[in-house]
Structure 1
Amino acid sequence: MPPSQPALSPLKVTLVLGAFVALGPLTIDLYLPALPTIASDLMTTDAAVQLTLTGTFAGLALGQLVLGPLSDAVGRRKPLLAGTALHVLASLLILVAPTVEVLGALRVLQGIGSAAGAVVALAVVRDLYSGRAAASLLSRLFLVIGVAPVLAPTLGGELLRFTSWRGLFVALALIGTASLVAVALTLPETLPARHRHPLRFRRTVTDYGRLFRDRAYVGLVLVAGLVIAGLFSYVSGASFVYQQQFGLDEQQFGLLFGAGAVFLIGTTQFNPVLLRRTSPQVLLTVAVLAGLVSATLLVVTAATGFGGLFGVAVPLWLVLASAGLGMPNAPALALSRHGEAAGTAAALLGAVQFGVGAAVSPVVGLLGNDALALGSVILAAAALAVLVLFLVVRPRSLPDVDEPAVVQEAEVPGVIAR
Structure 2
Amino acid sequence: MPGGPAVAGTDAAGAPAVPAEPGPSRSTAVPAPTGGRYVQLVLVLGALIALGPLTIDMYLPAFPSISAELGASDAATQLTLTGMLGGLAVGQLLIGPLSDAFGRRRPLVAGLVTHLVASLLCAVAPSIYVLAGVRVLQGFAGAAISVVAMAIVRDLFSGYAVAKLMSRLMLVIGLAPILAPSLGGLVLELTSWRGIFGVLAGAALLLTVVAVLGLRETLPPERRRPANPRATLATYRGLVGDRSFLALVFIAGLMMSSIFAYVSGSSFVLQDGYGLDERTFGLVFGVNAAGLTVASQVNPLLIRRFGVVNVLSGAILVAVTAALALVVAGATGFGGLIGVLVPLGVVIAAGGLSLPNTPALALTRHGEAAGTAAAMLGAVQFGVGAAIAPLVGLFGSASAVPMGGVMVAVTVLAALLMYGVVRRDPSVALD
Query: TM tier, shorter chain?
Result: over 0.9
The one of 403, 409, 417 equivalent to 1:388 is 417
2:306 is paired with a residue of what secondary structure?
coil
1:260 is paired with a residue of what secondary structure?
helix
Count residues in correspondence: 398
Q: Which amino acid aligns with 2:225?
A: H
User: Following superposition of structure 1 onto structure 2, how do residues 10-409 of structure 1 map, counting pairs within 5 Å?
Assistant: 10-145=38-173, 148-369=176-397, 370-394=399-423, 397-402=426-431
CA distance in structure 2 between the partners assigned to 1:13 and 1:166 by the alignment: 32
Change (3 A) 1:148 1:356: farther
Contact 2:253 2:380 in 1 (8 A): yes
Mean Cα displacement is larger for which, 146-155 or 18-27? Answer: 146-155
Change (3 A) 1:115 1:46: same
Tell me the percent identity: 55
**Deviation digits for residues 10-58 of structure 1, max 9, x if unmatched?**
1111111111111111111111100110011011211111111100000
Shift of 1:9: 1.2
Mean Cα displacement is larger for which, 15-24 or 347-356? Answer: 15-24
Contact 2:422 2:428 in 1 (8 A): no
Q: Which amino acid aligns with 1:367?
A: F
Shift of 1:256: 1.3
Shift of 1:147: 5.3
CA distance in structure 2 between the partners assigned to 1:319 and 1:248 by the alignment: 21
Shift of 1:275: 2.6
Change (3 A) 1:189 1:26: same
Contact 1:143 1:324 in 2 (8 A): no
Shift of 1:154: 2.4
Shift of 1:133: 0.7
Contact 2:174 2:290 in 1 (8 A): no
1:306 is paired with a residue of what secondary structure?
coil
Mean Cα displacement is larger for which, 17-26 or 76-85? Answer: 17-26
**Unaligned stretches of 5+ in structure 1?**
1-6, 403-418
**Deviation digits for residues 132-165 of structure 1, max 9, x if unmatched?**
1111001122344555335422221122121210
Mean Cα displacement is larger for which, 7-16 or 60-69? Answer: 7-16
Change (3 A) 1:394 1:400: closer
Contact 2:244 2:428 in 1 (8 A): no
Shift of 1:252: 1.2
Contact 1:281 1:396 in 2 (8 A): no
Shift of 1:129: 0.2
CA distance in structure 2 between the partners assigned to 1:122 and 1:247 by the alignment: 39
Contact 1:150 1:235 in 2 (8 A): no
Contact 2:55 2:200 in 1 (8 A): yes
CA distance in structure 2 between the partners assigned to 1:125 and 1:119 by the alignment: 10
